[in-house]
Structure 1
């Protein structure tokens, strides 16, 4: 059995960061385990997510259980399965969230997680190449963050349309305030994806004290009494064990982290006993508190030609886009998943925005190898509440670690989520039908102009909505009976074990979750090193 000081399970958005920071000290021997491969050629191309989204080699390809709010559908839950995890597969948008998100975490009994506490880690991790205020923005971190070029006439028309209904332009929604419409900041630089694999692991791979094992599926944590001492994992069918002299850090994400805890006997006693798993630590909150953004995609036909990538990216147009990318690292292939977004308030009197809209300058349709460009020229605008109250759960259904856990989102179970979803869809319609977009000859495809009442909109949401791929909360941080980790991310009742990824979030942040996940990795590494000193 090989022995290390630290073992990190999962090389994703947070895990890659933890491994980098812990191994920066040559005295620390670090093992990083990743179930997937080192990567895929398409990870380097920003729009390459469209080619990887159906690839089981680099995507866990999870799906949720059928439920009433999905009209009995199984909702895709893509999760990255390679170095960089979902940061190597996602839509590349960089959104920290609001100061109020993190202040709420601290107020829920988690000292050290207020916005003032986490801002230094956000600044430390990023090298933001836009403008903004240095009070909020980092300039020298490993993660390069850029702004898409705003000179496209389509984006200019949407910004003008938003202004016509009272929504201002915000040049830096990761700065002092989130309100308004903006071009999406992105983890893209020089036309290449800035994943944690590229920005944190690549610079560290040459360290003699860091061992990275890919194709390594964690099967269980090794426990001696109330202490975690290592990990059992398999590579190519061969079972191996590694010992951690100091700590194991689980960074599998909101699906895989609770799965590994349950397979190791940490979770709800009755559920574990029913599967024949010995109970090592009763923690009823493991797998609970699952939250995600449930987002309907409004779809719009564009009658004017030349504005969308349905016109510019098919046939010879696609060849032209490929040549443009090869020569200038620009164009459709270098695009963030949703190049424009707006953070809006559902009503007057709110302290901060509670709704998010995001625009994609094309229409997609299903294809045999994943989504493909539609022949119909158009735009997509997704719309959803940012801080949903509906909570679901993730739990194992078998002792085989290769068996996907059951994912139940329980969408729209909180009435306020349905109410705010309707308001978000109505705001999307107001912008898309404002005078500045009239020249594009917009026609609503979905939900359709005959869908007007609140109940009709919700019926359409149940038939058509998907997530925006932001699952969080299943190993929630806190002090109450359903909390899984404490404010230093230590698993309650088990020494030598922490969880560091989006699963520790008590509530969902206001926007995309990749940036907060990287911040969690930064802060977790600092806490591990401080506690070892």
Structure 2
């Protein structure tokens, strides 16, 4: 369907990340005049394109470098939330792992009111993405340590799963990734960049708010104060992510009325759900040194993570609740480094019960948001992540690692008994970079957007990114964000 047929002649897409790049491409192909706005610059940093250098991007100019407020259930620490501030968004910073999630994830969305988002609806979209512009592959050579990690997981009793995106998540697998010829491929490079000359692209421009007149979004404000600039279009699409999109909505006067009024922001539409329902996956490290042979440094073009596993920490779960991710380097993070070589089995929680929120601290672009993940607030989250840490410790002790490599646990270390692992988890948990939910879609009055991703109460405004996810899927969120981009573009063009 063309833009003319759908009635959409022009559109502003805010955010050139995973979802936004796809939306911009699909609208451009349909003849819509697209203005794509990105707060960061172009992806000229070589570290973006070399999978072995992804770790260099944290705290860089390409990272929004968000932090949570102190997390009382996670050692009182402020957790770093890296988010992409560059063309490609967080898909320019991440580990390029492609996970659809479980069919039951999406059927649960639909049952909760996200009509038309069940597995039968989204599976064809995944098929189309993977067979169209975005290369998704596990056809690459495993690093020796990664092959041994997979062998050790099998020795621990996990099945070897040759295709975790094939309908069954459980087991240990080689990761399916968006890498081609040793280079990162993201939706910016695959979708938007090839048609960049057919759209207007504004980089280095921060969006302050959406312009709403008589209940309809008509454009956006770039910057603020005397330097503010207004840009207009038929439709406004916010694809700034689970942290960026609610911030823009709140500054626009779309959000919880009392919170907005307290900051002196005129209320345009009372939307109590904006910024609520924030949740994220969490990780906790188990780090090993090797005494028989070195793992070696990262190799150009080779990701430092190539395998992961899905496992149920207790009986009766509809899908796995843990997803350890395995690194060919010691991921010291805030821990004291103990050497320069080794590997990390990063325990992972992927079905969190805890829910936090995002609020504004002021109406200006420089007012940092108050981000509270409520990390590990629900005891079930701590229990699952602690069980995952214990499993990673057992895997490290299997012959494929302990005997072949001489693997020795450095952290938590022998002084931390299995019974004390929960304290370790609360002291070391970090984000898996999968924030979702702050503009939840649904059919109830508390939902920020309806199942067609239209912002309730405001015409001409949609949210198309991971913020609309009601409950985080089982696994990495890059693939779901791409799927949401494809579906959102279809909804918009259908009128």
- 16, 25, 37: which one pairs with 2:21? 16
- 194, 204, 229: which one pairs with 1:203? 194
Change (3 A) 1:237 1:87: farther
- 403, 415, 433: which one pairs with 1:450? 415
> In the alignment, what sits opposite 2:340?
376
Establish whether residue 472 from structure 1 lines up as the match of residue 477 from structure 2: no
Q: Structure 2: any 5+ residue segments left out of the alignment?
A: 1-7
- 382, 394, 397: which one pairs with 1:433? 397
Q: Distance in 2 between matches of 1:343 and 1:4?
A: 45
Q: Deviations over 1:223-257 (max 9, x none)?
A: 01211111111399832111122x11100101110
> In the alignment, what sits opposite 1:109?
113
Q: Distance in 2 between matches of 1:473 and 1:348?
A: 27
Q: Could you tell me the TM-score, scaled by structure 1's length? A: 0.87
Change (3 A) 1:489 1:279: same
Establish whether residue 180 from structure 1 lines up as the match of residue 175 from structure 2: no
1:318-467 to 2 correspondences below 5 Å:
332-365=299-332, 375-439=339-403, 440-454=405-419, 456-467=420-431
Equivalent residues of 1:148, 1:184 under 8 A apart? no
1:67-86 to 2 correspondences below 5 Å:
67-86=71-90
Q: Deviations over 1:16-64 (max 9, x none)?
A: 10000011022x1111111110122322212332222121x21111111
> In the alignment, what sits opposite 1:321?
none
Q: Distance in 2 between matches of 1:398 and 1:289?
A: 21
Aligned to 2:228, the other structure's residue is in SS state strand
Q: Structure 1: any 5+ residue segments left out of the alignment?
A: 127-138, 314-331
> In the alignment, what sits opposite 1:273?
261
Equivalent residues of 2:304, 2:328 under 8 A apart? no
Change (3 A) 1:174 1:237: farther
Change (3 A) 1:366 1:179: closer
Q: Could you tell me the TM-score, scaled by structure 2's length? A: 0.94
Q: Distance in 1 between matches of 2:171 and 2:264?
A: 52
Establish whether residue 294 from structure 1 lines up as the match of residue 282 from structure 2: yes
Q: Deviations over 1:160-181 (max 9, x none)?
A: 2222222111111111211110
Q: Distance in 1 between matches of 2:305 and 2:109?
A: 28
Q: Distance in 1 between matches of 2:417 and 2:445?
A: 43
- 59, 64, 67: which one pairs with 2:68? 64
Q: Distance in 2 between matches of 1:389 and 1:150?
A: 37
> In the alignment, what sits opposite 2:483?
519
RMSD: 2.1
Q: Deviations over 1:360-395 (max 9, x none)?
A: 01114469xxx9997432111111221101010111
Equivalent residues of 1:93, 1:337 under 8 A apart? no
